[in-house]
């Protein structure tokens, strides 16, 4: 089929809710609510051909976000084959009544030539009873040469929206951001909420832990909560860039918005033996439940 025979794991939750995770990239490609409605955007032109990354869902950007460093765009975790971690160390905060899978990424000898460090990257993908999707990353420095390493990170989450022109994002107003369309220059957000009428590619800095994405047409609100990830990326390629991407439909930009829990401005540094943890939790609720919040 179109997925080129790549292995995936399916988590099933209450009623028709589910999550699909590819071992390639450790990438979530589908998240459905109890009614079986898809909540994530996956391009109809997405290719499932390594080493190309899958366009849509939730690619993991590690050890570099975007072009903020010398590595390929968004680092390499999104185009490596992860394995299932059959015996993960305990997660103290995890409640047992959820469907989840634990994945593991460790560098190959080839990877060490690109980024000269050893690590264990454990990713837990969990589907909650209320249909919420939780991603928890634990990254440990396992260098034996005594060297620390630094990285930037993002959960590159593509939300499915009905009409980008009718979407607003709340929780980022008055914040400073780096504008990737203007040489990563720093600006301050002036608007009440963020709305969309052209290409956007920004890193909002030190944001609140809760961000809301309101899909007015669909009367649905996505709530993103994050921990250990101070920044938030907002991206939509709009028409011109959409046309320039071979694995992205010309009109698809109208139906997606990336809002990403991230750590970009101040890289995370780990000494050998140290572990970092970063979490993103997303839920989707009917908008009427959110009014007045």
Nearer to ligand BG6, 121 or 235 (CB): 235
Strands 119-127 and 220-227: unpaired
Query: Cα separation of 157 and 55, whole Å?
Result: 11
Q: How far is the CB of 180 from ligand BG6 (least distance, A)?
A: 5
Strands 158-160 and 83-84: unpaired
Using CB under 6 A as the binding rule, whether residue 123 contacts ligand BG6 is answered as no
Matching residue, tokens 């209450």: 14
Using CB under 6 A as the binding rule, whether residue 180 contacts ligand BG6 is answered as yes
Nearer to ligand BG6, 67 or 93 (CB): 67
Residue ranges in 148-177 that form contacts with ligand BG6 under rule CB under 6 A: 156
Nearer to ligand BG6, 17 or 27 (CB): 27
Binder to ligand BG6 among 3, 47, 73, 209 (CB under 6 A)? 73
Q: How far is the CB of 147 from ligand BG6 (least distance, A)?
A: 28
Stretch in the footprint of ligand BG6 (CB under 6 A) among 12-20, 66-74, 89-97, 167-175: 66-74
Total residues in contact with ligand BG6, by rule CB under 6 A: 9
Kindly tell me the sign of the dihedral angle through the C-alpha atoms of 261, 264, 266, 268: positive
Using CB under 6 A as the binding rule, whether residue 32 contacts ligand BG6 is answered as no
Residues whose CB is less than 8 angstroms from the CB of residue 45 and which lie 6 or more positions away in sequence, other chains included? 55, 246, 247, 248, 249, 252
Q: State phi, psi for 54 to the nearest 5 degrees.
A: -80, 125
Q: Which residue is nearest to ligand BG6 (CB)?
A: 73
Binder to ligand BG6 among 102, 132, 170, 201 (CB under 6 A)? 201
Sheet containing 99-105: give its strands across: 83-84, 99-105, 119-127, 133-141, 275-286, 220-227, 210-215, 167-170
Using CB under 6 A as the binding rule, whether residue 233 contacts ligand BG6 is answered as yes
Using CB under 6 A as the binding rule, whether residue 79 contacts ligand BG6 is answered as no
| C-alpha torsion angle, residues 89, 25, 228, 211 (rounded to 10) | -130
Q: How far is the CB of 156 from ligand BG6 (least distance, A)?
A: 5
- Strand-pairing partners, residue 278, are 137
Nearer to ligand BG6, 201 or 281 (CB): 201
Task: Tell me if 139 sits within 8 A of 120, measured CB to CB.
Answer: yes
Question: Which residues are catalytically annotated?
Answer: 156, 260
Q: How far is the CB of 287 from ligand BG6 (least distance, A)?
A: 26
Q: How far is the CB of 33 from ligand BG6 (least distance, A)?
A: 25
- Strand-pairing partners, residue 123, are 103, 137
Using CB under 6 A as the binding rule, whether residue 66 contacts ligand BG6 is answered as yes
Matching residue, tokens 């955007």: 41
Residues at the site binding ligand BG6, with contacts judged by CB under 6 A: 66, 73-74, 156, 180, 201, 233, 235, 258
């Amino acid at each position: 089929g179109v997925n080129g025979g790549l292995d995936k794991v399916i988590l099933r939750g209450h009623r028709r809710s589910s999550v699909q995770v590819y071992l390639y990239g450790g990438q979530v490609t589908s998240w459905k609510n109890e009614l079986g409605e898809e909540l994530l955007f996956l391009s109809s032109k997405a290719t499932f051909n390594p080493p190309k990354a899958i366009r849509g869902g939730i690619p993991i950007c590690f050890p570099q976000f975007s072009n903020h460093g010398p590595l390929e765009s968004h680092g390499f975790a999104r185009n490596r084959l992860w394995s299932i971690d059959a015996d993960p160390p305990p997660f103290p905060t995890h409640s047992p009544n959820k469907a989840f899978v634990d994945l593991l990424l460790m560098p190959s000898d080839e990877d060490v030539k690109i980024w000269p460090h050893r690590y264990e990257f454990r990713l837990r993908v969990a589907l909650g009873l209320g249909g919420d999707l939780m991603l928890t990353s634990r990254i440990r420095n396992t260098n034996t040469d005594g060297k620390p390493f630094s990285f930037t990170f993002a959960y590159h989450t593509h939300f499915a929206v009905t009409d980008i022109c009718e979407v607003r994002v709340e929780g980022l107003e008055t914040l400073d951001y780096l504008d990737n369309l203007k040489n990563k220059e720093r600006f301050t957000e002036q608007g009440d909420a963020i709305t969309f009428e052209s290409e956007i590619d920004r890193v909002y800095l030190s944001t609140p832990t809760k961000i809301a994405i309101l899909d007015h047409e669909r009367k649905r609100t996505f709530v993103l909560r994050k921990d250990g990830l101070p920044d938030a990326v907002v991206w939509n390629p709009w028409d011109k860039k959409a046309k320039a991407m071979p694995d992205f439909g010309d009109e698809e930009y109208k139906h997606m918005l990336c809002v990403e829990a991230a750590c970009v401005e101040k890289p995370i540094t780990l000494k050998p033996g140290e572990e970092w943890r970063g979490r993103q939790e997303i839920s989707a609720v009917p908008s009427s439940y959110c009014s007045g919040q």
